[in-house]
Amino acid sequence: MWRNLAQLVQYRPLIHSLVVRDLKARYRGSVLGLFWSFFNPLLLLTIYSFVFSTILKNTRDPDTDPFALFLFCGLLPWTWFATGLNECAVSLIHSGNLIKKVLFPAEVLPIVAVIATMVHFFFGLLILAAFQIYTGHLPDPVDLLWFPVVVVIQFVFTVGLGLILAALTVHFRDIRDLVSNLLTFWFFATPIVYSYRMGAGALGEHSWILKLNPFYHLAVAYQEILFFPGPFNGGRSLLAIGALSVLLFIAGYWLFDRLRDSFAEAV
């Protein structure tokens, strides 16, 4: 396992070219092309902010103004996470040809899925930045130093989970449906459309339940860094999640490596 893991570094050019291929192929033949990468999050943002700031406006935490911006800070990383996992789950099945007919390092496929969706996340960040400048609601520059840390942790976390899903989906095709349903539940269990203070307030003494969700800490970190004023002091919990992510990655890679030989036969 460790030797395979070390080899992963050598696959950088392969991963790079596959990510580029994915991005190119996705919008090839569509009129708007790359614009969709911007348009999708923008549309989501418009819908959510209309619902929550116009229809459900009395239910909001007043700290979350401007609400659209708050929402965006949680929604962007979530979209990366959710689409990344969904694509991981089917990554091996959809490239069955490669696994069956070519000597191909299968773990590259879920990693490519996570990176390709991460690129879309970065496109979304450009919109977020433009929006922040437009509203004049700028993040604390010192807090921003934490931002890449959160991104890296989320990346490791997603890849770890993605490897597990990819490997198991080969044997149990229904995982792919299970994942998309589970993600809907997970979305609302995470403070994205509501602030974590509101969530904690509503659950009272049971609010610790929210904190069992690893993505809770990531979402809150994004919001603290990009949206809420004041210095970021979630470093401790963030590092804990970071450690968890690394463990998850190792566990995921171990499982993937164990099942590797079955892929060519079961895909």
Partner 1 sequence: MSSVNVRAQAAIELSQVSKVYRRYTGRRFATLKSALLSGSLIRDLRPDEIFTALSDVSFSVRAGQTVGIIGRNGSGKSTALKLIAGITKPTTGTVAVQGRISALIELGAGFHPEISGRENVFINGIMLGLSKREIQRRFDEIVEFAELEEFIDAPVKTYSSGMYMRLGFSVAIHVDPDVLLVDEVLAVGDAGFTHRCLDKFAEFKRRGKTILIVTHSLGLVEQLCDQVVLLEAGKKTADGDPKRVVGAYLTEVGRQEGKFIATTDARAGQANLPAPGTAPPADPSKAGAGRWGSGIVEIRDVTMLDRGGQAVQVVDSGAPLTIRFSVRAQQPVQDVVFGVGIFNAEGACVYGTNTDIDAIGTESLSGDAEVSFVIDALDLVAGTYKIDVAVHTHEGAAYDYHRLLHTLRVQSQTRDVGLYRPRHRWEFSTNVAVKPR
Q: Which stretches of the chain bind partner 1, using CB under 8 A?
A: 13-14, 17-18, 21, 24-25, 28-29, 97-104, 168, 171-172, 174-175, 178, 261, 264-265
C-beta closer to partner 1: residue 120 or 217:
120
- Three-state SS for the chain is CHHHHHHHHHHHHHHHHHHHHHHHHHHCCCCCCCHHHHHHHHHHHHHHHHHHHHHCHHHCCHHHCCHHHHHHHHHHHHHHHHHHHHHHHHHHHHCHHHHHHCCCCCCHHHHHHHHHHHHHHHHHHHHHHHHHHHHCCCCCCCHHHHHHHHHHHHHHHHHHHHHHHHHHHHHCCCHHHHHHHHHHHHHHHCCCCCCHHHHHHHHHHHCHHHHCCHHHHHHHHHHHHHCCCCCCCCHHHHHHHHHHHHHHHHHHHHHHHHHHHHHHHHC
Give the nearest distance from C-beta 259 to partner 1 in angstroms. 8
R_g (Cα) of the chain, nearest Å? 19
Give the nearest distance from C-beta 157 to partner 1 in angstroms. 22
Give the nearest distance from C-beta 29 to partner 1 in angstroms. 6
C-beta closer to partner 1: residue 55 or 102:
102
C-beta closer to partner 1: residue 12 or 57:
12
C-beta closer to partner 1: residue 13 or 141:
13
Give the nearest distance from C-beta 41 to partner 1 in angstroms. 23
Give the nearest distance from C-beta 225 to partner 1 in angstroms. 36
C-beta closer to partner 1: residue 205 or 261:
261
C-beta closer to partner 1: residue 66 or 105:
105
CA dihedral 90, 158, 75, 210 (to 10 degrees): 120
C-beta closer to partner 1: residue 49 or 169:
169
Residue 190 zone, left/alpha/beta (φ > 0; ψ -120 to 50; rest): beta
Give the nearest distance from C-beta 265 to partner 1 in angstroms. 6
Give the nearest distance from C-beta 221 to partner 1 in angstroms. 32
